[in-house]
Structure formats: structure tokens, C-alpha cells
Amino acid sequence: MEIGGRVLEPTADEFRRLLSTVVDYLCATVESLPDAPVARSDGIAELLADPRLRQAPQEAGRPLGELLEVIDRAASKGFNPSHPGLLGFVPGGGIVTAGVADLVADVLNRYTGQATPSPGLVAMETDVLRWLSDLFDLPEEAAGILTTGASLAVLSALITARTALLPADFLDGTIYVTAQTHAHVAKAARLLGFPSEAVRLVALDAGLRMDPAALQASITADRAAGRRPFFVVASAGTTNTGRVDPLAAVADIAADKGIWLHVDAAYGGFFQLTERGRKALTGIERADSLALDAHKGMFLPFGTGCLLVRDGRLLRQAHSMGDADYLQDLRGSTLPDFADYGPELTRDFRGLRLWLPLQLHGVAAFREMLDEKLDLARFAHRELSTVPGLILSEPPELSTFCFRLSSEDATAELLRRVNDEGRVYLSSTRIDGQFVIRLCVLNFRTSLSQVSDAIDSLCRHTAGLAAEM
């Protein structure tokens, strides 16, 4: 008997068979990951023209088996962030137990925008946020919200700081970033109605970190010119180079000048679980707000970030709309109503994606994984620094570094040849306008095997390119 059909509620037996079909598919997919190609760019036009993929929904349904085949085919092109060889961008890998949590949360389908409908589940999500606040030594009054990613986290951070520090006419409010700050800050500023000149680029030091003296000078000059400096973003691991801004020095200036310190820890934040990470991130505990991406350093599937705010009341003040009449039955819980702490009202039960893996695997499992990634990145840097012709950035502070050949064309060709082999996938960026290859170890599935593959491939193709010159 085919599962599905016109009945929206399968019987218990049908549901079981439906899940077991899906589980068989997912287990086979995960099992085949190491041998599957990490990226495929061939046949995309055919894929996009495939009528099985592009068929509009019909009056009658289609069999689940057929639909899983369509999904599998659709997922077969592009690059695969679950693959252990993904060393480009900022990979996380996607632990399957977070997927299990999503399934449980979705099938339970409880409402967590407010605490009254789901006090127990909201308490669990609150406990996850408390655990995160404790990880960064934030005070008791800290509060937070799980978001879809750092982009929404910084949007809420910016509106919180704006509400707390600027008058209703906020257009001369000024925000400080560097040329290495992720573009999500400027995007949030634009979405909130700040003019582009509100975002100031602070000079970098030779190591591509924010120069605190330049920050101090910019703030002083802007104040003298009648602007209102109110928000500075320090990166706890930039996307380009993994560098950590001098957090303590920036915190000193922010405190002295009375401006809000937001730490963008989207990439690097969870290294705080490790001893070396905690050392590299010293000063992060002084943030007024802090953004994290659990879909990076906690290896979750895409879609989970977090904002933590030192003074939780300010986060609530900026987002709470007070009481809407149609929600009057939901008042009165002593737990936080998440709708008062972020832009969303209705939301998925995001907390379980963190709660279940943390409780199931234990914190040490994550710490050990992150430590291994720090080791692998250092190892890769050490090995590549012996390859004639490769020009490397400083050794990684966290798990990212960049390198290039002497010419841009050769660097681009090196990247193409390495990626074309299909075993590992690296990405590129520009530093000071110069094209560089970037290696980032953060997928939990990445082990010595893939890092060795990457080193081997880079060595061979660097030598090959040198021979062709």
C-alpha cells in the first residue's frame, strides 16, 4: 500500500513505514558521504529542466519513494556542506541528532512564541540560552533569543542598542566596523533605516584586526562633528581570515565612550568551549551583545543562530509590543515570552535543536570536536608553509587561514584544480583586493583524512603549475 494519498493523517502503522522509508534513505545518504563527491557542477541545466523536479502539484499525490528520488536528485548538484571534505566558506556539517530534534519538535508542534502554551518547552529553551550566557560569563540579567542565524541576531542587537542609546531621530547614529567585518552588519543597518554613511570603517592593524587607536580617534572625530557614535562591532573570528579583533581593548574604548559593544562570534564563538579558544576570545565576556551561529560551531544544520544581550531588559524593551488583545489568554507566565525578545511571534521550537544534541552527546563531545578542528587547521598551515611557491597568512588563531601563489591567475587555477578532483572543496576571497584561497576547518565530519587530501592536492597542483610556468 502506498503511503500518503488523500488522507492527511496516516495511521500509526503508515507513519512508522513512512518514517522508516525516510530513515533508510537518510542513513544510506550519510553512510555514502565520504565516498560521494563534495561538489558537482556538471549537468545543472539538465537538472533544472527535469520535469519530475519542476512538476506543479497535481490533484492526486505521488508516491513517497518517487518523491525521495526527486529530492535526492535535486540535492546531487552544487556543493555539499555535509561532506567531510568541505573546507570552504564556514562549514558546520549538520549533526543528524539536531535533525531528529527537528522532527520531534515539528511532530509535537507546540507553540513557543509565548511561555503559557508550552511552559516546559520554553523552560528548556531558556535553559539552553542560560547555558550559552554562562559559557561567555554573562551576568544573571542577560537574556537571549535563538534566531535563524547571525544576520537576524545583529539586526536585533542593533535595534536594541538604538532603542537604548539613540533618540527617536536616530539618523546621525554611527556604527563602527572594519573592512573585515561581515557584511550582515551593514545590511542590518540599512534594513533599520540608517543611511550608508552611518557605518564607519575603522582602520585595521597589520594583522587585519581592528586598530583600537583608530577606533578611538574615529569616535572622537565623529562626536566633534556632531554625530552620535553608539555601536561598535568586534569580530570574534572574521569570515575571511578567522582573525579575532582585540576584544578587551575595544571593550575598554566602548566602556569609556559609552557605546554598545557587539561581538560578532558567528564563526568563532563556540571555540569558547575549548581552552585555546577561550584564550583567543579573551574579552568576549565584556560584550553588550554577542551573536553566535550554532549552524557553524555547534555543527547544527543551517538555520540556528543566537543573540545574547548582557542587559536582557534592553532586548525586551526594544522588541516587546506589550499586550495584544487576542493574546490576552497567554499572559502571566514567569518564563520569558520569546515573542518579546525578537522580531518573530510564531516560530518553530528552535530550542530543541540545541537541547537534544547537548543532552544526548554531552558538552565534552562538542569540546573535543572543536579542539580537533583547531589542531587540524594548525597542522594544515604547518604543512602548507613548507610548500615552495605558496604564500601563507599567519598561522590560524582559530581554524581559518588564507594562502595564494604569486599571481592571481595561478591562484585561481590552483583552486580550480584542487576542487575539480572532487575530494575536498575550498573557497576563495579577497584580502586587500588580492585573490586568496581560504581554508576553514569547522565541519565536524572533517578529519585528518580530508585535511591530508587537501594538503596533498595543493602540493601536487602547486608543483604542477610551477612546472608549467
Ligand X SMILES: *Cc1c(COP(=O)(O)O)cnc(C)c1O
Q: What's the closest the beta carbon of residue 294 comes to ligand X, in angstroms?
A: 9
Q: Between residues 235 and 443, which has the closer beta carbon with respect to ligand X?
A: 235
Q: What's the closest the beta carbon of residue 258 comes to ligand X, in angstroms?
A: 25
Q: What's the closest the beta carbon of residue 91 comes to ligand X, in angstroms?
A: 11
Restricting to residues 358-377, name those near ligand X by CB under 6 A. Answer: none
In this chain, which of 80, 118, 151, 180 binds ligand X, going by CB under 6 A?
A: 151
In this chain, which of 101, 266, 307, 369 binds ligand X, going by CB under 6 A?
A: 266
Query: Which residues are bridge partners to 235 per DSSP?
Result: 264
Q: What's the closest the beta carbon of residue 242 comes to ligand X, in angstroms?
A: 9
- One-letter identity of residue 369: M
Contacts of 457 (CB under 8 A, 6+ apart): 417, 418, 421, 423, 424
Of 232-240, 334-342, 416-424, 440-448: span binding ligand X (CB under 6 A):
232-240
In this chain, which of 156, 174, 239, 274 binds ligand X, going by CB under 6 A?
A: 239
In this chain, which of 84, 305, 312, 357 binds ligand X, going by CB under 6 A?
A: 305
Q: Is 90 in the site for ligand X (CB under 6 A)?
A: yes
Residue 353 dihedral angles phi and psi, to the nearest 5°:
-65, -25
Q: Is 298 in the site for ligand X (CB under 6 A)?
A: no
CA gap 466, 105 in Å, rounded = 54
Task: Answer positive or negative: Cα dihedral of 40, 46, 49, 51.
Answer: negative
Q: Is 85 in the site for ligand X (CB under 6 A)?
A: no
In this chain, which of 102, 264, 337, 348 binds ligand X, going by CB under 6 A?
A: 264
Cell of residue 9, nine digits: 493523517
Q: Is 182 in the site for ligand X (CB under 6 A)?
A: yes
CA gap 92, 293 in Å, rounded = 10
In this chain, which of 150, 284, 309, 440 binds ligand X, going by CB under 6 A?
A: 150
Q: What's the closest the beta carbon of residue 255 comes to ligand X, in angstroms?
A: 23
Which DSSP string corresponds to 380-409? HHHHHTTSTT-EE-SPPSSSEEEEE-SSHH
Contacts of 87 (CB under 8 A, 6+ apart): 424, 425, 426, 439, 440, 441, 443, 446, 450, 451, 454
CA gap 316, 253 in Å, rounded = 26
CA gap 229, 437 in Å, rounded = 35
Of 20-28, 144-152, 219-227, 452-460: span binding ligand X (CB under 6 A):
144-152
**Site of interaction with ligand X (CB under 6 A):** 90, 149-151, 182, 184, 235, 238-239, 264, 266-267, 293, 305
